[in-house]
Structure 1
Amino acid sequence: MHINEWWGLVERARAAVGDRADDRELADDPLPEALVDVLAGLEPAEIVDFYVKYVEVEDSAYQYSLCMAAYLIEGSYSNDGFRDFRGGLILLGRDTFSRAVDNPDFLADLPTVTRMSREEGGWIGYECVSYLISDAYQRVQGETDSLDTAVETALRGMARPDKPRGEEWNWDPEDEEQMRRRLPRLAALFLD
């Protein structure tokens, strides 16, 4: 699946829910189900391709500076939490995702992030976008074993990062000076 087609599917789901597409904290968050609906309109092999491309896209955001941005925004860091954060960035659409990967400090521009900094609600991360893909496949095929097998086979042939990309930070979440130097706009929101 070409990357433009892949992002087009994400954008179709976002368009279906309109102005409710940017906040994962909503009690009745409509975007996950909208993505399942879009993906369930595909052939099983296309859903497998979507899953594999999802892993590639998520891996492209596996970088130190974005990890630190996630720490500032969501307040904690774990491998699972960072994966959820990257999944949530994907659900924000191609433009936001690409800009955040290029410059994580850009996230300070997002209304949801601003609300989070003021403790007025909002959330970026989304636990396991892969579950949504599996749900769509289940709807189409009635099972997910063949999806799991196909994805596992495809991923076996992919080079995947074993650590975040980019300049390695001296990981100390209490080092406000480093946060202010590397992510000045996010630090101003969350540390001031």
Structure 2
Amino acid sequence: MDMDEWWGLVDTARTAVGDRADDRELPDDPLPEALVGVLAALEPAGIIDFYVKYVEAQDSAYRYSLYMAAYLIEGSCTDDGFMDFRGGLILLGQDTFSRAVAHPDSLAELPTVTRMSREEGGWIGYESVSCLIADAYRRVQGETDSLDTAVEAALSGMARPEQLLGEEWNRDPEDEEQMRRRLPRLAALFLN
């Protein structure tokens, strides 16, 4: 499976839920179950490959600038919170994800982010994309031990970032001047 096919699976799930695909705060968020359904239609090897590509996508977004954007949008950002944020970005689809990785300030264009800035609800992050993949695998195989073993073996051969990528920032999220200079549109939304 190449990355275009991988993103195509994400887009298939997004298309299935229509205009409800961009907000993870909905009480009956339909996207997670739609993605499980799309993945459960694959062979077990395809689900394993999807999981490995998911990790690759997550790793590609492990960047200083995106971390700081997540901090502004969410009001704080732990390591786990940043993982969830990147998972949620993936669920927003390839175009939004790619723009955000290249230019995190582009997230200011998202209606969900605008609502969040006005404290009108909405959420980007999603905690359990890996659990969705495991749920799909369990539907197909009846277990997840073989998924865990296969993914662990695949990841053991990959070079994965140990530190945030890209230009190193002063990682002080309270440095408003830095935020305004580097993420001007997001700063305009979230900093008073």
1:100 maps onto 2:106 in alignment: no
Task: Tell me how far 1:128 sits from its aligned partner.
Answer: 2.2
User: Equivalences for 1:1-150 in 2 at 5 Å?
Assistant: 1-150=1-150
Task: Tell me how far 1:32 sits from its aligned partner.
Answer: 0.2
Counterpart CA distance in 2 for 1:41 and 1:75 is: 38
Give, as a single letter, the amino acid of the residue that structure 1 aligns with 2:98: S
Counterpart CA distance in 2 for 1:43 and 1:116 is: 38
Please, which runs of 5 or more residues in structure 2 have no aligned partner? Answer: none
Task: Tell me how far 1:172 sits from its aligned partner.
Answer: 1.1
Superposed CA RMSD: 0.5
Counterpart CA distance in 2 for 1:116 and 1:134 is: 30
Runs of 4+ in 1 over 2 A off after TM superposition: none
- Aligned positions, number: 192
1:172 maps onto 2:168 in alignment: no
The alignment partner of 1:153 has SS state of helix
Give, as a single letter, the amino acid of the residue that structure 2 aligns with 1:141: Q
Give, as a single letter, the amino acid of the residue that structure 1 aligns with 2:124: I
User: Equivalences for 1:154-169 in 2 at 5 Å?
Assistant: 154-169=154-169
Q: Which residue of 1 aligns with 2:181?
A: 181
TM-score by length of 2: 0.99
TM-score by length of 1: 0.99
Counterpart CA distance in 2 for 1:75 and 1:128 is: 20
